[in-house]
Structure formats: structure tokens, C-alpha cells
Amino acid sequence: MIPTWAQIGYLVSAVCFIVALKALSSPRSARSGNLIGAAGAALAVIITFAAYKPDHLAPILIALVIGTVGGVVGSRRVQMTQMPQLVALFNGVGGGAAALVALLELGEVPADATVAAIATAFTILVGAVSFSGSVVTFAKLQELMTTRPVTFPGLPVLFVASLLGGVALAVWLVSDPRVWVGVLLCLLGLAIGVMLVLPVGGADVPIVISLLNAFTGLTVAAGGYVLGNTLLLIAGTLVGAAGTLLTKLMADAMGRSVFNILFGAVRGGSTLGGGTASERPVISGGPEDVAILLGYANKVIIVPGYGLAVAQAQHTLRDLVEELQSRGVKVDYAIHPVAGRMPGHMNVLLAEAQVPYDQLREMDDINGDFKTTDVVLVVGANDVVNPAARTTPSAPIYGMPILNADEAQRVIFLKRSMRPGFAGIENELLYDPKTTLLFGDARDSLTKLLAALKTV
């Protein structure tokens, strides 16, 4: 029986998680929200040790130290461009841990506790799916494997058969909770997770990370029911609900259904284009040419993308914007919901450079301003301003809401090369007569552009 003081402590931890989730919805409060959530988790761990007085304390503490050191070192060393991979790994570890705990609890499930047995089977199956699927998403984002959809003949049949087999094994486990049946269910879940993510193209992987995060949350909630731990039930439900909503919002931002994102390649479509560079002529310029366009503009919109993060050019971009503003130029940043590799990627990147929050404007808020904008400066973005989303039904991004950069008077692209964006398709805006390309590393190009602007 959990002592009353421990239940009150768990309630405080749960409130911390709820407050943290609310705070994370705004860049202004995200940092404090993260700290509140971490404090709630630390409090829950301390209460668990004090209330339950677990056996085998030494190996548990050793595992905690190893995990803490690994988490701190990994989080501090990871680059902003690799944050989605880190999220995928952390998410996978959560799902795998929930599955292992459920396996260990199989022998403790009473014969007449049907609901507990169902929750255990669910945790094993879905936790295993989340673990293996998250590992594949990590491999795709880290480019340890191809980012293109991976399919093979018979994949749909094998996937459906595996799902049916998983359901059958889960039913068997509920009626006869044997450990070896649970192990088989776990192994089948691992296979399902791999087959679920393999057909997903690289541009859609962040959405799958969010979906798998929801899976992990649900397994933690189910595990909380099995263990009789209300805090796990609350925390898991919060993660599951937030992950589900985020997945839906991201899919809507790309103008596609979650089903299409997961199974579009299996059904014969593709979530990734050809990925080859075009030989078509474009208008290119030097830093001096671009500086003149920016220096004599009245209104400029910056469209940041993944290339900005790769080049770590956010501080130089802020300096360029400050120089423009000192000349009386109105400057805003246009933030697309799926710019970068995860939701909020650009917000966090620019906040790191101390860019004021009121300059960061979301797509729906700023799209109407492009028609009255003199110059749009696209830094490391491509797919989020690609008109093919409106004009080319065969394009993998067709139907995705985009930033209306093509409606501005002039467009400037900072690009390393003519290689397509992450969706692997050409951007017709690059070949528009009003578009000028400045080739090179984004930080180097912005440094030269800032120097040239000061002489205009």
C-alpha cells in the first residue's frame, strides 16, 4: 500500500508535468517548463525510493548513474541539427523500457485480472513497436541508412500478417500469461516497428517520431495501470495525448493524412522525389548584388530552414537583420510548422541567437504579407516555399500548405548547391526570373552579405 505522503508527492509530480506541458507551448516559457518537468520527474524518483524501499539497491543506483551521465553528456554535446535523432532515441528507450517492465510483470498478473493482462499485452506489443521503429527513424535521420522509402514485394502482406499475429499472440497472452508467449509477442512487435517505418520517406520521419512518441506514452500509461502507479498512468496519458495531437497537427501542416504518410510508398506512391540536381539555368549573384536588393528594400521576410541549422548561421543572420533594421527596413521571420527536422526547430534555433519572439511569425499569420514584401530571403529552406505543393498533383508535397514566398517582388535563395530539398523534388521558384541565388555555406554567405551591406 502506498503511504498517503507518497500519494501526495506523486500528485505534486503530476501537477508539475501538466504545468510543464503547458509551458512548453510557448518559446517564452519553454525553458522554465522544461525545468519544472525535470523537477517533477526527480521528485517522483525520490518518492519511489523512499516509499517502496526497493531490493537490489546497488545495481539500481548504478543504472541510474549510467543513465544520468549518458543523458547529460548526450544532450549537451548533440548539435541542434541532430536534436530529432536524440528525441527518437530517448523515445525508443522509453518504449523499450515499458515493454521490458511488462515482461517482468507477467508472472505477477493474477489469473482472474483480465484487464491487467490486456494492459500487459498491450504494453509489450506497442512498446516493442515504438522501440524498433524509433531506432529506424534514428538511422534514417542520421543517414546510417537511406532516407528514401524502403519497400519490397510482399511487404503489405507481411505487415498485415504480422499485425494479425500480434493480436493473436496478445489474446493468447491474456488467456495464458506465459513468459515465452510474451517474449514472442515482443519479438513480433520489434518486427512490426521496423516494417512500419521502413516505407516512410525522410521528409516524413519527424511525423513518425511524434506518432511513436504517442505510442510510448500509451505504453507507459498501460504500464502504470499494471503496476498500480497513478503517476505513470497520468504521465503516460499526457505524453500519449500530446503526441497524438502533434502528429495530427504536423500531418495537417503537410496537407496529408497520417495513413498516407505511413503507407503512401507501400500503396505505390512515394514520399520522396528523385533527389537529383537539375542542369537548368538559374540567375545567381554575389554578396554585393544581394546586399543592394536588401539595403534598398522597405520590407523583408526571412524564411529559415534546415540549412541554417546545419551551417550554425543563426547568429550571423541575426546580425544581418539588426543591420537592416538600423536602416529602417521592416524585417520578420516566417516560420513554417515543419521547417527543419522537428516542430519548433526554427523557433529554438533563432531563440538561441536571441532573436526577439515577436519577430517570429507563424505561416498562417504572415502568409498574407508576402504580396506587399519587397524581398524574401530564404536561408536553407526549400520544400516549405516550393510552389509544386499548389501546382503539381504528382509531387510528393502536393497539398502541403506553404509559405507564399513566390508572391513577393524579389526572392533570394541562399543555397549550397542545386540539390533538391529533403522531399527530393525541384523547386520551380528557383528558376523564376525574380529569383536570385547566392551559392555557398549559409554562414559564410551571410558573413559576406553583412559586410557588403555595410558598404551600401
Q: Please give the positions annotated as active site.
A: 383
Which burial class, exposed, middle or buried, applies to 224 when counting CB atoms under 10 A from its CB (0-12, 13-18, 19+)? buried
- Give the number of other Cβ atoms within 10 Å of residue 41's Cβ: 16
Nearest to 400 by CA among 206, 273, 251: 251
